[in-house]
Each structure stands twice: as structure tokens, then as C-alpha cells.
Amino acid sequence: METTTRNAPERKNVQGLILKGYTHPYSCHLLFQLPGSTQSPGSTPTELSQQQTFFKALYSHVQSAEDWGVYKPVSMLNIGLTFNGISKLDPAIIRQQDLQRFPVTFREGPASGGSQQSLGDNAGKNNKSNPQNWWNGQGDAVTNNLDCIVHIYSLTEEDLEILIAYVLDAAKTNGLTEFIPLLPAIKNGRLYQSIVDKDPAKIHFGYTDGISEPSLKPSEGTPSAESNNNFVIGYPQDALTVPGPTGEDTASIFAKDGCYNGFRVIHQDVAAFNRFLKNPTTDPAVMQQLQQLKLETSLEEWLAAKMCGRWRNGSPLMLSPDKPAHETSHEENFNYSVTDASGHKDDITSSLRCPFSAHTRVANPRDQQMVAAEGTFVPRIVRRGVPYGPTMDDQVVVDDGQDRGLIGLFLCGDLAGQFEKIYGWMNNNNFSGKEIFSVRKPPQDALLGDKTAANSDAFPGTVTSFIIPVDANNKITIPTLPNFLVTRGTAYCLLPSMETLGRMAGV
């Protein structure tokens, strides 16, 4: 018999990055293979001892979600395990026969056919994002053997390097293998956070990030897509999603107070983005339409805002439609449905401010009417991403060959119902049955949609055009958007509770 509770998770038992956004300006994310085997008879006593010693060495540096008071920790880390990694652990901690209790999406991983129906990395001809190309061309050699990701954060670059060296030494001493995910030209190929244009809040393409996160407050008996019950495993009674496993088996005990992380490394083609903003179409008629607009900003900034749904300073188009405004730069309290004089909600009118395919609107449609097949609520994910790679000036239009992009940590309690559902929407805007979101030829997220995957078997009928309504009777249709992103790698991890990490460490 499964047991459930309405009690909220104790913050001291939850890893910190789940419930609180860090503002440490330096981070690095290390990928490891644990000693041992996932195959019967499993890891040997020596390998299990090496695993325990490694986790024990790291345990005192793991940051919980408990309030750290006035002073931030100088350096800290968090730990995630793939299903492959969990399968190698001591059966005294989690029994092999209980492993199937984990959701199938987590067990099969992001390169599986089921996950790729949403992610779309393997869709389309010659897709550079194909899982075979992940991890600097290492593909399955990393994807099938990646067990553990250690996320290290620090207030200074020096302290970051000290903790990285400590973790690497513990890994080497205990038989772990480190995977190098990027080309070695930058930071030895490791996933270091960078500061874009000297602003820790910026990401490549120039947008301010980290705005409009779920509240993560306890549900208090009222289910909400924003509450922490949808993210922290073990409290399903008030959750709208299905965070699991839950019960009395060892897998459910292991997972309780944990959270899933859709870890995704995404290359951003900044030069292509800059070129598009300066010359968005080769169609002279469309270009003439754009040039005739009476704008309060440059055409480039207007296009960037229409593609994202926010100006690059963070102002949402729904509140600041004509130009960015400092007072709305971090505003989260707004909706997309516009109510007319008779009280009727009209989503179409709101598209005059914010296009339906703008990234922030696709990723969080808020109160926009959904088609019945997509359910009765808008799922949310927690974003803890940071940029990597050097800054490129917004005037540069020729690629310099350097890798830059986003280290995405997308946290949720249900990978399929939250992370993958939203990603599917970005690749196929068919979740809202409006005229612009044609169910016959739906568009894609203007920024994050995989244009190579459009009209493939995964997303049949999708188009790469971008529609920008400009008044009640007119719209501008940019015929073809280029691809701005390439997936460099993806892993599904569980961020276990502090108690579970303590059992893994033998403390």
C-alpha cells in the first residue's frame, strides 16, 4: 500500500539548487562514470566502496535548500545521478528489483525514441543536434555511460578552481572516469559558466535570464502548477503532475525529496542570430513591411523582443509593447488573455503585443486557452541555466568558430509531463487552437524551435515561418527562420535528497 502525505518537504533535506536560485557568478559542471556495472551481478565490493568514499568526500560540500543566513557559502556543490548511475549503487541502498519503479522517461533517457518525439534532436535530415553528435562527437560512449554530474558553484574563480581540483582528485582516487563534453579549446572542454558582456544576468543573444520562475511554495491543500509538490518527489496528493516514484519500496525511499533535472547543453549560434536581426528575410515585400513600421526602438531590438516575448532587458511585451521599460524589467505578474467589453477572453488580440510563437509565451502560455488534448493546466519547470563560452558582440555576423551557449538545468518532478511537454510545444506550436496556431501547419518557437526538425516524422506539418501581427487587419510573416541552436548533449538526472546522499556516503 502506497503512503502519501500533504506535508511539505523539509528544506534541509532538499538539495539547494532545487528550491533556491544561486547567484554565485562562477560554476562548473563535471560529468563522471562511476566504478561498477549496471549488469548482473552488479558492482563489486571494491567498486561499491569506491563509490561510497567518493560521495563521502563530497558530502560535506553539498548545499541544501536551508536558509544559509547572511553570508553565502564561498563554494558549494550539488550532485545528480542518471538512472544508469543509480543502477550501480549498493543494493542495500536501492534494490535492483525496485529500479523499475522509476518513470520510464527517466529510465530510458533523453536519447530514447519516446523522449525524442518531444526533443526532436534526431528529427530532420542531417540534424547537427542528433544524439550521435552529442558530447563533442562522443555520442553514445558518453550518453550510455554517464552516471553522475557534479554542479560546483563559487563566489570567486579561485575558490571554484580549488573545489574543482578537490572533486577531480576524489574522482581519480576512487576510480571514476571524467567525460569531457566540449572541444578542449575553452577551459579544457569542461562546462564552465561564463559572464556575458560583463553582466551575470545576461545570456548569449543578449537577453536577461532568470525571470518568471515558479513560486515553489507549498500547496497547502490547493493544487497549483507553481507549488513545490510538482517538483519535489514524494508529495503527490497535492501535485498536478506525477512526481515519483512514491511508496514504501527502496526506489521511492531513495527518490523522496529529490527532483529530476533535464540537463541540456545547447550551443547558440550568435553570429546567425545577429545576421537575422540585421537582415531577417530575402523577400523584398516582407522587408519593405518591416522597414515601414513606425517603431520607438531599432528594428533589430523590436525583432529580438518579438521573438522572445520580452525586450532584452526583461520587459514583457504584454506590459511594455513599444519599448523596454526599467519598471517592468523583472515583472512576472501578467497574462496573455485580453478581456473585451463583454467579458469575453480574447487571446488573438494579445498577439498584437506578443506573438503566439514568441519563446516566453510558448514556454509559459499562462492563462492562454489550451486545446483539450494538452490538459487543463500549464506545466512549469524551474530553470537554473548559465551561459558558457566567450561573449560575441551583437555587431558580429561571421562565426568565429568558438563554442558558446547555455548549460541548462531544467528541474521538474515529471520529465515527460513538464520538461518534455514544454519542449514538444516549442518544436510544434499546436497546443492552442487559434488561427495563428494552425493545427494544419503549426509554427515553432521563434528562438528555441529546432528548424531542422520541422515537417519531419516527429513534427509533421510544422513550418519555420514566424508570424508577427501588427494591427487588427495586418500581420508580417517572415517566411523562414534559421536554426539558432544545436544540442551538444542531454542527460536526465535525479538530484537526491540530503538523506539519500548521506546513505550513499555512509554518513
- Could you please report the per-residue DSSP string of 354-406? S-TT-HHHHH--TT----GGG-SS----EE--EEES----TT--S--S---EE
Q: Which residues contact 212 (CB under 8 A, 6 or more apart)?
A: 332, 360, 364
What is the identity of the amino acid at 287?
M
Helix (H) / strand (E) element for 150: namely: strand 148-154
Q: How far, in Å, are 55, 192, 308, 469, 504 from residue 34 at the CA level?
A: 11, 22, 40, 52, 13
Contact 174, 56 (CB under 8 A): no
Let me know how long the chain is.
507
pLDDT at residue 372, rounded to an integer: 77
**Residues of the chain predicted below pLDDT 50:** 1-5
| Beta pairing, strands 405-412 & 382-383 | antiparallel
Q: Give dist(CA 139, CA 149) in Å, integer.
A: 17
pLDDT at residue 5, rounded to an integer: 45
Handedness of CA 153, 155, 161, 166 (dihedral sign): negative
Identify the three-state secondary structure at position 408: strand
pLDDT at residue 343, rounded to an integer: 72
Is 7 buried (19+), middle (13-18) or exposed (0-12) by CB count in 10 A? exposed
Q: How many CA atoms lie within 13 A of 160 on its CB side?
A: 20
pTM of the predicted model as reported, rounded to 2 decimal places:
0.96
pLDDT at residue 3, rounded to an integer: 41
Q: Give dist(CA 384, CA 263) in Å, integer.
A: 10
Identify which of 88, 181, 176 has the alpha carbon closest to the alpha carbon of residue 142.
181
Contact 90, 45 (CB under 8 A): no
Contact 216, 227 (CB under 8 A): yes
Q: Give dist(CA 364, CA 358) in Å, integer.
A: 10
Backbone angles phi, psi at 219, to 5 degrees: -70, -30
Q: Give dist(CA 497, CA 78) in Å, integer.
A: 10
Contact 66, 12 (CB under 8 A): yes
Q: Give dist(CA 232, CA 6) in Å, integer.
A: 12
Place of cell 562522443: 138
Q: Give dist(CA 285, CA 185) in Å, integer.
A: 43
Backbone angles phi, psi at 188, to 5 degrees: 60, 25
| Beta pairing, strands 26-33 & 177-179 | antiparallel
